[in-house]
């Protein structure tokens, strides 16, 4: 057995001893543990139930264009998470942080929905609405370190305040134009406006390279 494995065994035994000691007392510690566990489970399920809306709410841009079976908000975030997972390593970029950011960046839309520029809502008001929604979701989760992490990741993305946020912002645009290309090919839709809306707005070499590849394929297929 390796030294590391031995250490893990010792830690496991220590944890078991601590657990036995706690349960052999007057019962107060065990009762508190069960209550905390129940509360945490309840908060988690409430939060996840609310997040179900991300799976059922369709992305507004595709609905407006009459796309059949349009992707949901969760569909969009899931593929962004995969982008972060498969992307080549970039010096100074925390891949795990990018993955987490990708899967929470639109999470407030579970409450406010997918607001687009055509909805007549200013960027400031949209941000305020989403911030309020996010705050409510974090309260539903019961606060604590996980809620704080989600809030911090969301704000970092919203403010475009880190190298990771810039990468994920590019993934957001790349995922949209890739989806647009797929809908053009599958349904014969004219979705040029989505490509035009992202032109010249990519911040990273990775985003530019992937967008260029999508544009190249679109030229060949049309």
- Residue 123 has a pLDDT of 87
CB neighbour list of residue 173: distance below 8 Å, 6 or more residues apart: 198, 201, 202, 207, 211
Residue recorded with tokens 């645009």:
173
Q: Regarding the domain with residue range 41-217, which homologous superfamily does it belong to in the CATH classification?
A: Hypothetical protein af1432 (1.10.3210.10)
- Please state the rounded mean pLDDT for residues 178-187: 98
Phi, psi of 33 (to 5 degrees): -60, -45
| List of long-range contacts for 142-145, beta carbons under 8 Å, 24+ apart | 142/39, 142/40, 142/43
Tokens of 138: 């974090």
Residue 201 has pLDDT above 80, yes or no: yes
- Residue 120 has a pLDDT of 87
Phi, psi of 201 (to 5 degrees): -110, 5
Tokens of 60: 């507004």
**Residue 8: strand, helix, or coil:** helix
- The predicted-structure confidence for 116-141, as pLDDT tens digits, reads as follows 888 888 989 999 999 999 999 999 98
- Residue 189 has a pLDDT of 96
**Residue 72: strand, helix, or coil:** strand
Domain ranges of the chain: 41-217
Phi, psi of 114 (to 5 degrees): -90, 95
Phi, psi of 173 (to 5 degrees): -75, -40
- The predicted-structure confidence for 58-72, as pLDDT tens digits, reads as follows 999 999 999 999 999
- Please state the rounded mean pLDDT for residues 35-56: 84
- Residue 60 has a pLDDT of 96
* Percent residues over pLDDT 70 in the chain: 82
- Rounded to whole angstroms, the Cα distance separating 17 from 32 reads 18
Residue 72 pairs in a beta bridge with 58
Closest CA to 191 of 204, 205, 212, 177: 177
- The predicted-structure confidence for 143-174, as pLDDT tens digits, reads as follows 889 999 999 999 999 999 999 999 999 999 99
């Amino acid at each position: 057995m390796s030294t590391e494995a031995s250490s893990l065994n010792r830690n496991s035994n220590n944890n078991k001893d601590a657990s036995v000691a706690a349960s052999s007392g007057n019962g107060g510690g065990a009762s508190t543990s069960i209550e905390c566990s129940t509360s945490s489970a309840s908060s988690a399920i409430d939060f996840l139930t609310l997040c179900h809306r991300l799976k059922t709410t369709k992305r507004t841009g595709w609905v407006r264009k009459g796309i059949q079976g349009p992707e949901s908000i969760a569909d969009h975030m899931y593929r962004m998470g995969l982008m972060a997972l498969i992307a080549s390593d970039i010096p100074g970029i925390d891949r795990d942080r990018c993955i987490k950011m990708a899967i929470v960046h639109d999470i407030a839309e579970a409450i406010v929905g997918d607001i687009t520029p055509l909805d007549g809502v200013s960027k400031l008001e949209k941000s305020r609405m989403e911030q309020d929604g996010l705050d409510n979701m974090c309260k539903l989760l019961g606060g604590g370190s996980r809620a704080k992490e989600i809030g911090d990741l969301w704000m970092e993305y919203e403010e475009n305040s880190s190298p990771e946020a810039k990468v994920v912002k590019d993934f957001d645009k790349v995922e949209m134009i890739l989806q647009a290309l797929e809908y053009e090919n599958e349904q014969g839709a004219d979705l040029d406006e989505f490509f035009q809306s992202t032109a010249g707005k990519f911040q990273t070499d990775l985003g530019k390279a992937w967008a260029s590849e999508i544009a190249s394929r679109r030229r060949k297929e049309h």
